[in-house]
Structure 1
Amino acid sequence: MEKTVSLDLIERAKKIKLLILDVDGVLTDGKLMIGPSGELCKTFHVHDGLGIALSKKFGLKTAIITGRTSKMVKFRANELKIDALYQGQSNKVNALVKLQQEFHVNLDEIAYVGDDLIDLPVLTRVGLACAVPNAVSEVKARSHYITVAHGGHGAVRQVIEMILRAQGFWDQIISDYTQAKTFEDIEQ
């Protein structure tokens, strides 16, 4: 993660209560592997998974809005205990409005991580717009934060770490890991 962040970015991150993620190109590297029977295969990074687990420990809600529909994404979302999953969304703003109502949050309390043009309508409305380096230039130009890691390679973890640092939780996380005698100690 980048060592220096602006005061504006820190102030935006302090307000975040809901983190919304795109899938292809953000949680994955954007590649679609198609098997001989037409089945899709996607890979996810464990750093993102741990980041999501850590964020939940401190009350951050998580959601996915994706343009595609995939059993694999549903499985991973369930595995990570993602709070809301919207698949097959060609108009992501509709899902954003539903999430805003469901979680009773203002737009400035929402962070979104995206990579392509379909993400622009959401990115331009939320309080903390984030992009991955593999995002198209129009998305990067409208983002408050661009991760160092590419999509599918721990980018979501970097966004979560930045938010948790801004909210003052990161030192506690490190302390929990360095003081723990067992993994169960950390999960509590």
Structure 2
Amino acid sequence: MIRLLLLDVDGTLTNGTINFLELDSGIYESKSFHIHDGLGIAAWLKLGREVAIISGRESKALRKRASELGVTRIFMGVQDKSVIARSIISGLNLSKDEVACIGDDINDLGMFRESGLRFAPANANAYLRSQADVLLTHTGGNGAVREMIEFILQRNEEEYQEFLALYE
């Protein structure tokens, strides 16, 4: 059973676009997150599962969104995602088979190596797609994370019904 999701951000939770807003008070970065992904993540956590977000970039917008969803394991500015992934997995006393991840580019390969089930959005880098176990139909920032969560839960009808019952 998958107990932990490792999530990349830019290109998976977002569409990969980084917007800079120029205001009199300075330059600000903005990101867009898909509501379907958020509901899926919140439900995953309500099911007693774990989520860790691992990003190569620092982002106040990401910290805000993660807080809204109840995600407490947030790692930003990460150069080697495998080191963080191993630390989380070890700290939770999980096996590789209890971990799934999603990434969209070659900097996510470290996470892929530490995970038993690997997902890639439809618009992921070609090499990373070749390393994924599951190629999603949704693109990054457009429901790919939600599709991943439902794919995992649908492998066990009881788990999937429990997921659906959270919002009935």
CA separation in 2, counterparts of 1:112 and 1:79?
21
Match of residue 92 from structure 1: 81
Give the C-alpha shift of residue 63 in structure 1. Answer: 0.6
Give the C-alpha shift of residue 103 in structure 1. Answer: 1.4
Instruction: Show structure 1 runs of 5+ residues with no match.
Output: 1-14, 181-188
**Aligned alpha-carbon RMSD (Å):** 1.3
CA separation in 2, counterparts of 1:97 and 1:172?
29
8 A contact 2:9–2:54 mirrored in 1: yes
Give the C-alpha shift of residue 167 in structure 1. Answer: 3.1
8 A contact 1:55–1:164 mirrored in 2: no
The residue matched to 1:39 in structure 2 has which SS? strand
CA separation in 2, counterparts of 1:123 and 1:100?
13
Residue 134 (1) aligns with residue 123 (2): yes
Match of residue 143 from structure 2: 154
- Identity value in percent: 37
Paired letter, 2:37? D
Give the C-alpha shift of residue 26 in structure 1. Answer: 0.2
Give the C-alpha shift of residue 176 in structure 1. Answer: 5.2
Match of residue 120 from structure 1: 109
Paired letter, 2:155? A
8 A contact 1:124–1:142 mirrored in 2: no
The residue matched to 1:40 in structure 2 has which SS? strand
**Aligned residue among 60, 63, 66 for 2:52:** 63
Residue 20 (1) aligns with residue 6 (2): yes
The residue matched to 1:67 in structure 2 has which SS? coil
Instruction: Show structure 2 runs of 5+ residues with no match.
Output: none
Taking structure 2 as the reference length, the TM-score comes to 0.92
Q: Could you list the structure 1 runs, at least 4 aligned residues long, displaced by more than 6 angstroms after superposition.
A: none
Paired letter, 2:17? K
Match of residue 11 from structure 1: none
Equivalenced residue count is 164
Larger deviation: 166-175 or 134-143?
A: 166-175
Match of residue 172 from structure 1: 162
CA separation in 1, counterparts of 2:48 and 2:28?
35
CA separation in 1, counterparts of 2:163 and 2:79?
37
Q: CA-to-partner distance for each residue in 1:52-90, whole Å, 9 max, x for gaps?
A: 111112222001000000111111111111131110001
CA separation in 2, counterparts of 1:163 and 1:104?
20
CA separation in 2, counterparts of 1:50 and 1:33?
24
Q: Which structure has the highest strand share of the two?
A: 2
CA separation in 2, counterparts of 1:176 and 1:80?
15
The residue matched to 1:120 in structure 2 has which SS? helix
